[in-house]
């Protein structure tokens, strides 16, 4: 590994607190406007947790690049690393004169600090940003819940994957995946639980994106950073728009067709999600030309990922808080969402930097003399 690649690994912090400190240090060094939003939940040893933002660019931007991390807490290690790298490289000439870049660090600080994907109420925040509650019925999940969430501590052997193979053979891959990961609102201790009301973090994100300084925004590119889905270190921009829509044409032209996966295209790697963070952003900027995507970096095969989530969830609800079993399962979950491999981490940093540069170039693709108020269209 060359010196530059080795140096880049410093962006991957060992825990939430170190990641937050590095993010804020780099933001201050760049002269970014910083805001901190504490949440009521506490981290290990009772430490305070918060969502933090850093803003660079025009005082009242007409174009906005919004990059969020840690929506699924433990996925925040890679997301924070990408945001830190971006802060280390961005300068006054990076963004067009009428534009701004808003970085939202650790949407789910509790999950980041405690090595959980869900938050303090076991809510998947990327299923919680609904426009109304209760969430939609997921009848297929009800049948799967006894398999996914048995009321007992994890043990070995447990035949979880063997039982999953039977369901895969009888239901088919796409329907089974959609039933599991699309979101469910009936089992508070279950995986992918979307909650019964907006969680504190979601309310906080609503306040952040509704700030007075952003009222003039007419064009938005929003990217929510995630890990877990797909081939190791490969990436996709997951979207939920029709293949023949203006939004799809824009995203393909900016990021390349090979990088785009739409849930509305049969056989796609993307799947339909209820209550995603990007949906919240899209609703807030409905009067603007808004393009949203989830930037997903692959880690381990999907069955292994689901197995790690299953075991960590069982340990959370059916072992003591100081149990070595729980500590072990959470460490394994962390490594599943942020592999310790230097090769994986450097590839994620390189791909992520490329995507953010493409996003900035997309902001430049509309001449400054064009009236962005007339650039609105439908998805």
Question: What residues make up the domain containing 217?
Answer: 3-374
pLDDT band, residue 270 (cuts 50/70/90): low
User: Residue range 290-312: average pLDDT?
Assistant: 96
Q: Answer yes or no: is pLDDT of 73 > 80.
A: yes
Residue 271 has pLDDT above 80, yes or no: no
- Quick check: is 181 in a domain? yes
Lowest-pLDDT choice from 21-35, 59-73, 144-158, 169-183: 169-183
Q: Which residue has the tokens 């509650």?
A: 133
* Of 94, 292, 87, the residue nearest 209 (C-alpha): 292
Q: Does the residue 132 lie in any domain?
A: yes
What's residue 367's pLDDT? 55
- Asked whether residue 263 is domain-assigned, the answer is yes
Q: What rounded mean pLDDT belongs to the chain? A: 92
Residue 373: pLDDT over 70: no
Q: What average pLDDT does this structure show over 341-350?
A: 96
Arithmetic mean of pLDDT, 92-107: 92
Condensed to tens digits (0 to 9), the pLDDT of residues 169-192 reads 778 888 888 889 999 999 999 999
pLDDT of 212-247, one tens digit each? 999 999 999 999 999 999 999 999 999 999 899 999
Q: For residue 377, is pLDDT > 70?
A: no
Structure confidence at residue 273 (pLDDT): 87
The pLDDT of residue 370 is above 70: no
Is residue 174 a part of any domain in this protein? Answer: yes
Inform me whether the pLDDT recorded for 123 exceeds 80.
Answer: yes
pLDDT, tens digit, for every residue of 1-11? Answer: 677 678 779 99
Domain presence at residue 349: yes
Highest mean pLDDT among 8-12, 199-203, 270-274: 199-203
Structure tokens at 184: 């469910």
Q: How far apart are the first and last CA of the chain?
A: 43
Token pair 């430049």 in the structure block, residue: 364
User: What pLDDT, on a 0 to 100 scale, did the predictor assign at position 366?
Assistant: 66
How many domains does the chain fold into? 1
* DSSP, residue by residue, 40-105: EEE-GGG-EEEEEEEEEE-SS-SEEEEEE--SSGGGHHHHHHHHHHHHHH--TTTS-TTEEEEEEE
Q: Which residues contact 335 (CB under 8 A, 6 or more apart)?
A: none
**Reading across the β-sheet that carries 33-42, which strands appear in turn?**
33-42, 48-57, 99-105, 63-68, 219-232, 289-298, 235-239, 260-262
CB 291 within 8 A of CB 217: no
CATH number at residue 357: 3.40.630.10
- Domain-embedded: residue 281: yes
The conformation of residue 343, written as its DSSP 8-state character, comes to H
Query: Among residues 374, 285, 362, 292, which one has the least CA distance to residue 96?
Result: 362
Average pLDDT over residues 252-275: 85
Mean pLDDT across the stretch 367-374?
50
Least confident range from 71-75, 91-95, 260-264: namely 91-95
Inside any domain, residue 379 = no
pLDDT > 90 fraction of the chain, expressed in percent and rounded: 80
């Amino acid at each position: 590994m060359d010196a530059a690649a080795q140096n880049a690994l410093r962006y991957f912090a060992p825990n939430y607190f170190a990641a937050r400190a590095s993010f804020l240090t780099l933001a201050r060094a760049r002269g970014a406007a910083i805001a901190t939003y504490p949440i009521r939940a506490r981290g290990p040893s009772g430490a305070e947790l918060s969502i933090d933002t850093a803003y660079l660019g025009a005082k009242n931007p007409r174009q906005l690049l919004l990059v969020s991390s840690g929506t699924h807490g433990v996925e925040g290690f890679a997301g924070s690393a990408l945001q830190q790298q971006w802060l280390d490289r961005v300068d006054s000439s990076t963004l067009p004169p009428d534009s701004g870049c808003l970085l939202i660090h650790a949407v789910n600080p509790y999950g980041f600090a405690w090595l959980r994907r869900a938050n303090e109420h076991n809510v998947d925040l990327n299923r919680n940003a609904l426009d109304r509650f209760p969430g939609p019925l997921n009848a297929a999940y009800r049948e799967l819940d006894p398999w996914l969430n048995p009321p007992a501590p994890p043990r070995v052997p447990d035949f979880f994957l063997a039982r999953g193979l039977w369901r895969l053979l009888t239901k088919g891959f796409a329907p089974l995946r959609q039933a599991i990961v699309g979101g469910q609102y009936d089992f508070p201790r279950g995986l992918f639980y979307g909650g019964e009301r907006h969680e504190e973090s979601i309310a906080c994100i609503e306040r952040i994106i509704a700030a007075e300084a952003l009222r003039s925004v007419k064009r938005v590119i929003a990217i929510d950073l995630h890990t877990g889905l797909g081939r190791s270190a490969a990436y996709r921009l997951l979207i939920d728009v029709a293949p023949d829509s203006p939004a799809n044409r824009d995203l393909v032209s900016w990021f390349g067709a090979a990088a785009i996966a739409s849930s509305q295209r049969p056989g796609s790697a993307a799947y339909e999600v209820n209550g995603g963070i990007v949906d919240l952003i899209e609703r807030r900027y409905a009067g603007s030309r808004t393009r949203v995507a989830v930037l997903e970096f692959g880690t381990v095969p999907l069955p292994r990922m689901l197995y790690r989530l299953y075991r960590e969830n069982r340990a959370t609800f059916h072992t003591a808080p100081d149990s070595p079993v729980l500590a072990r399962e959470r460490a394994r979950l962390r490594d599943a969402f942020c592999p310790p491999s230097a090769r994986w981490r450097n590839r994620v940093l390189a791909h992520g930097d490329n995507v953010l540069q493409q996003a900035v170039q997309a902001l430049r693709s509309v001449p400054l003399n064009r009236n962005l108020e007339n650039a609105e269209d439908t998805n």
